[in-house]
Chain A
């Protein structure tokens, strides 16, 4: 399936491997940070809404 890369197989596969690793790492890190921040914001906003709810319950 992989084309015959000849004597440069190591170089080409190494380059692709390293790049894909870095890109995947960047994407995963970005996704993880995004998810974490969304969760944190939802939590803080829920607290804020609860407090606002309490304030109006006289």
Chain B
């Protein structure tokens, strides 16, 4: 029993089919539960007032925005090395999700920044790195859309993802270099310094879990759609040949 079994589209459809209801349930519990907890049941911060509640959206979205790209990198490499179509399609499926999370991260970041920093948009290193990541997502999605042949598209977008990852990583550090930044330090790191207090941390972890599960849910759903699309194309091609 190996994970490579899921490279088989039929096996993937089967397994994802029965997984979906479970993942949906868990997503709803964590996401809605977490947001409800954070929004209604946590106190205001003495410094940031009620805007601290934005953390329950901003941080999970930001984490998933980067994680989605990383997942795309891994699945792209798997496609390039082992030619499993499900992998390439999963990367394609994940991109719009990652882009949406990145946009949410940017929008919530800007809205949070306004009362805190006095400006709608500050060229803070983290927000800026996010903006750049958003552009990488756009390019990736655009390339998939522009190339007609699916296998060619899969190859080109995979190479783009791999090379793009290097530059996205470089950009992260270039942007830090460029601006020392207004952003606070890591909110959830394991060492004490800038940690978020417990009363916020628990609902925050729940929301992060919720966003992660939502990502998994949507990737499963969208990959199934892509697999079906591929099958339709194959059947139509056969129809045309027989006609």
Separation of A29 and B224 alpha carbons in the complex (Å): 14
Interface string of B43-62 (1 = CB under 8 A from A): 01000011101100110010
Q: Taking the complex as formed, is B82 at the interface, i.e. its CB lies under 8 A from any CB of chain A?
A: no
Q: A37-B232, A44-B236 are in contact. Are A12 and B53 (CB under 8 A)?
A: yes
The distance from the CB of A21 to the nearest CB of chain B, in whole angstroms, is 10
When A and B form their complex, what is the total count of cross-chain residue pairs whose Cβ atoms lie within 8 Å?
Answer: 95
Interface string of A32-58 (1 = CB under 8 A from B): 011001101100110110010000000
Chain B residues within an 8 Å CB radius of A9: 50
Q: A12-B50, A19-B104 are in contact. Are A30 and B225 (CB under 8 A)?
A: yes
B103 and chain A: residue at smallest CB distance: A22
Describe B's contact surface by its main secondary structure: helix
What is the size category of the interface that chain A forms with chain B? 20 to 34
Q: Taking the complex as formed, is B132 at the interface, i.e. its CB lies under 8 A from any CB of chain A?
A: no
- In the complex, which residues 1-24 of chain A have their Cβ closer than 8 Å to any Cβ of chain B? 2-9, 11-12, 14-16, 18-19, 22-23
B107 touches A15 (CB 8 A): yes
A11 touches B111 (CB 8 A): yes
The distance from the CB of A30 to the nearest CB of chain B, in whole angstroms, is 5
Chain A residues within an 8 Å CB radius of B11: none
Separation of A6 and B111 alpha carbons in the complex (Å): 16
The distance from the CB of B101 to the nearest CB of chain A, in whole angstroms, is 9
B54 and chain A: residue at smallest CB distance: A15
Q: Which of B44, B57, B218, B228 contacts A16 (CB 8 A)?
A: B57
The distance from the CB of B78 to the nearest CB of chain A, in whole angstroms, is 22
The distance from the CB of B68 to the nearest CB of chain A, in whole angstroms, is 12
Chain A residues within an 8 Å CB radius of B97: 26
Where the two chains meet, the residues of A that have a C-beta atom closer than 8 Å to any C-beta of B are 2-9, 11-12, 14-16, 18-19, 22-23, 25-27, 30-31, 33-34, 37-38, 40-41, 44-45, 47-48, 51
Closest 9 CB pairs of A and B: A5-B50, A37-B228, A15-B111, A19-B57, A41-B228, A15-B54, A34-B225, A8-B51, A8-B50
Starting from the known contacts A8-B51, A40-B228, A40-B232, 14 additional A-B residue pairs (CB-CB under 8 Å) come to: A7-B49, A7-B115, A8-B50, A19-B107, A22-B100, A25-B100, A30-B218, A30-B225, A33-B225, A37-B229, A38-B228, A44-B236, A48-B239, A51-B242
14 A-B pairs within 8 Å (CB atoms) are namely A11-B51, A12-B51, A15-B57, A15-B111, A16-B39, A18-B111, A19-B107, A23-B104, A23-B214, A26-B100, A40-B232, A48-B235, A48-B238, A51-B242
